[in-house]
Amino acid sequence: MQIIESSKTYDVAIVGSGAGGGMATKILAEAGFDVAVLEAGPHFDPKKEEDRNQFRWPYESPRRGASSNRRSFGDFDAAYGGWNIEGEPFTNHEGTDFWWFRSRMLGGRTIHWGRISLRIGPLDFKRNSVDGLGDNWPIGYDDVKPYYAKVDKLIGVFGSKENIPNEPDGFFLPPPKPRLHEMYYINAARKAGVPVIPSRLSILTQRINNDRGLCFYCGQCSRACQWYADFSSGTCLIFPAQKNGGRVQLFTEAMVSEVTTDKEGKATGVTYINKLDKKTHHLKAKVVVLAASACSTARIMLNSKSSVHQDGLGNSSGLVGRYLHDSTGASRAVFVPELMNRKIYNEDGVGGMHVYTPWWLNDAKLDFPRGYHIEVWGGMGMPSYGFGFNPNDLNKVVGGAIGGYGDSLRDDIKKYYGSVIGISGRGESVPQKDNYCEIDNEVVDQWGIPVLKFNYQWTQHEVKQAKHMQDTFEEILSATGGTLLGDKPDADSDYGLTAPGQIIHEVGTTRMGNDPRDSVTNKYNQLHDCENVFVMDAGPFVSQADKNPTWTILALAWRASDYLVDQVKKRNI
């Protein structure tokens, strides 16, 4: 058996088809480049009937939509894989509990994601100047602002102009009206002195072009929209790039193991294993764009050792894999008696919340740095596995028997349907050099590729932030007049702080900077050590604010792609 060489040399090989890889594909293909896109999972197009999860009823799944170790968020969630991928493990250092979510399919995690599309604000790029912790980005909001605007207009995001300094407004489509439980949240939050504004999600409440459909409020964005009415990488970037006549060759089921380099250390292409025939291939390319996800990209780089790049590609700083950081998370829920025995109507709405709370205490003196936003959930959703468990536990609050059997259970179910409101905080952590992923030399996956090993501990900054969340949640939810569910998480549980990785905002492993000794890429996502390799996932993030990373991945990938085109034109690459 030998490595199968590609017959031709592509202008660009793009590893990964998620937000960053999709944007690179669109911009580079439309600039006339001959592009190869390598994706470790199968092709996926929600328009194809065999890929359709939308409008399925729970009984169309034998497990009624339950989650499994094959699909973490349930049968209809459009993410192949999740916390566990059979044959592709990862490991944790003792004392670390890092969760790593991977989605193996064309479009990656953009197929199922929450569509929350927030801009990193002016303060967020320069947090070190505020609190002395971590590092500033080498770029500021004004560098990215034009690209956020382009992304808004190309892809579409609803929201509202609010003129909040660190929550920059964009080119918004109009938001949907709040649902009933969201109106309860608005009233309660205001009583607690916490502001609420319309949420900002990349879902088409109004037409943005004549190619994509309009949202019809099924609330199922996470299942992938067959009308392309929300953002995902395939439907909004890769397929349009192909349709526009771009030269885009898709390699699905292609598991990239390393970037190959020549004697001078310049990239010559990528090696991948075709998962279907299990053969090793070498795809030649003049430029390589890594967009496999922050951790997968770090893994590929660290596994790409050569005489020039002895510690892995682009790793002369020793920082590849370091500064890995996720968002913080914590939640609480309340039972609202006024929401018992609700009149039932269709309130599916868009696939996500219609309102949210942006961070509101930038000017306050607090015992922790950075901030968080608050998301709200509830309502009369479609039942799936787990619905009806402990059907009358809330009788503990309002009185009545617990348990039982017979016809009265029907009344219990209906009495409490849609009566619980939950809120979740999503916050900024302070990136730490000692939180990292590295190669585990003792474990390989089924393709023979050494796997990642994680080392990650939250600091007191994040724990104190979670405590603040819990205090705030208690105040807001109490103001609904309802009964808070469960005990308030305390210090023993780090105030309900989620395990690192669980919010699925992995960023920072190849952070950008001006000093090659202190960063992996320059401010255009280009490796300091290897000029014809770019990283266009969230690896180059220096920090991520409390803003979900996707919109910034898209903006930076567009910016980096423009730079790449310019550098090729100037023959600098």
Partner 1 sequence: MKRRDSLKSLLVGSVAGGLLVTGCAPENQAPAEPVAEEGLPGYGRNEAEKLHDKEVLAEVFLNEHELETIAALCDLILPATAMVGGALEAEVPAFIEFIVKDMPNHQLPIRGGLAWLDNHSLKLHNLEFKKITLDQQKAICDQIAFPGETAPEMMPGEKLFTRMRNLTLTGYYTSKIGIEDLGYKGNQANNWDGVPQDVLYEHGMAYEPAWLAKCVTPAQRGKVAEWDDDGNLLT
Asked if residue 72 binds partner 1 (CB under 8 A), the reply is: no
CA dihedral for 49, 53, 59, 63, sign (positive or negative): positive
Of 150, 191, 207, 282, which one interacts with partner 1 (CB under 8 A)?
Answer: 207
Is residue 254 within 8 A of residue 42, CB to CB? The reply is no
Nearest residue to 106 (alpha-carbon basis) of 46, 55, 152, 54? 46
Of 46, 234, 269, 513, which one interacts with partner 1 (CB under 8 A)?
Answer: 46
Residues 488-527 that bind partner 1 (CB under 8 A): none
Of 82, 134, 170, 246, which one interacts with partner 1 (CB under 8 A)?
Answer: 170
Asked if residue 274 binds partner 1 (CB under 8 A), the reply is: no
Tell me the window of 171-179, 242-250, 281-289, 534-542 that interacts with partner 1 (CB under 8 A): 171-179
Of 146, 245, 388, 448, which one interacts with partner 1 (CB under 8 A)?
Answer: 388
Of 27, 78, 319, 423, which one interacts with partner 1 (CB under 8 A)?
Answer: 78
Asked if residue 62 binds partner 1 (CB under 8 A), the reply is: yes
Residues 26-45 that bind partner 1 (CB under 8 A): 41-42, 44
Min. distance of Cβ 156 from partner 1 in angstroms?
A: 7
Tell me the window of 167-175, 357-365, 434-442, 454-462 that interacts with partner 1 (CB under 8 A): 167-175
Residues 308-347 that bind partner 1 (CB under 8 A): 338, 342-347
Helix (H, G, I), strand (E, B) or coil at 182: helix
Q: What single-letter amino acid sits at 475? A: E
Q: Could you give the CA distance from residue 223 to residue 438 in angstroms, rounded to a whole number?
A: 33
Of 4, 5, 32, 68, which one interacts with partner 1 (CB under 8 A)?
Answer: 68
| Cβ distance to partner 1 smaller for residue 83 or 563 | 83
Asked if residue 59 binds partner 1 (CB under 8 A), the reply is: yes
Q: Could you give the CA distance from residue 45 to residue 234 in angstroms, rounded to a whole number?
A: 7
Residues 419-438 that bind partner 1 (CB under 8 A): none
Helix (H, G, I), strand (E, B) or coil at 184: helix
Q: How far is CA 441 from CA 132, 302, 455, in A?
A: 36, 11, 15
Nearest residue to 494 (alpha-carbon basis) of 376, 368, 373, 365? 368
Asked if residue 82 binds partner 1 (CB under 8 A), the reply is: no
Min. distance of Cβ 122 from partner 1 in angstroms?
A: 16
Tell me the window of 138-146, 286-294, 325-333, 398-406 that interacts with partner 1 (CB under 8 A): 398-406
Asked if residue 486 binds partner 1 (CB under 8 A), the reply is: no
Of 52, 126, 191, 247, which one interacts with partner 1 (CB under 8 A)?
Answer: 52
Tell me the window of 19-27, 133-141, 283-291, 382-390 that interacts with partner 1 (CB under 8 A): 382-390
Of 95, 132, 406, 486, which one interacts with partner 1 (CB under 8 A)?
Answer: 406
Min. distance of Cβ 228 from partner 1 in angstroms?
A: 14
| Cβ distance to partner 1 smaller for residue 1 or 59 | 59
Residues in contact with partner 1, counted by CB under 8 A, come to a total of: 99
Angle subtended by helix axes 141-155 and 550-569, to nearest 10:
100
Asked if residue 57 binds partner 1 (CB under 8 A), the reply is: yes
Q: Is 498 left (phi over 0), alpha (psi -120 to 50) or beta?
A: beta
Min. distance of Cβ 163 from partner 1 in angstroms?
A: 11
Element holding 259 (H helix, E strand): strand 254-261
Residue 105, number of CB atoms within 10 A of its CB: 25
Tell me the window of 356-364, 413-421, 463-471, 555-563 that interacts with partner 1 (CB under 8 A): 413-421
Binding mask 234-273 for partner 1 (x = CB under 8 A): ----------------------------------------
Q: Could you give the CA distance from residue 341 to residue 334 in angstroms, rounded to a whole number?
A: 16
| Cβ distance to partner 1 smaller for residue 209 or 460 | 209
Parallel, antiparallel, or unpaired for β 197-198 and 267-274? unpaired
Give the residue carrying structure tokens 């885009």: 248
Q: How far is CA 309 from CA 284, 366, 413, 465, 521, in A?
A: 19, 44, 62, 40, 15
Angle subtended by helix axes 460-478 and 180-191, to nearest 10:
110
Residues 102-161 that bind partner 1 (CB under 8 A): 104-105, 153, 156, 158, 160-161
Long-range contacts of 186-190 (CB under 8 A, 24+ apart): 186/355, 187/479, 187/480, 188/476, 188/477, 188/478, 188/479, 188/480, 189/357, 189/374, 189/476, 189/479
What values do phi and psi take at 241, rounded to 5? -65, -40
Of 15, 38, 350, 421, which one interacts with partner 1 (CB under 8 A)?
Answer: 350
Of 4, 397, 402, 444, which one interacts with partner 1 (CB under 8 A)?
Answer: 402
What is the rounded (10 degree) CA torsion for 365, 367, 370, 374?
A: -90
Q: Could you give the CA distance from residue 146 to residue 525 in angstroms, rounded to a whole number?
A: 17
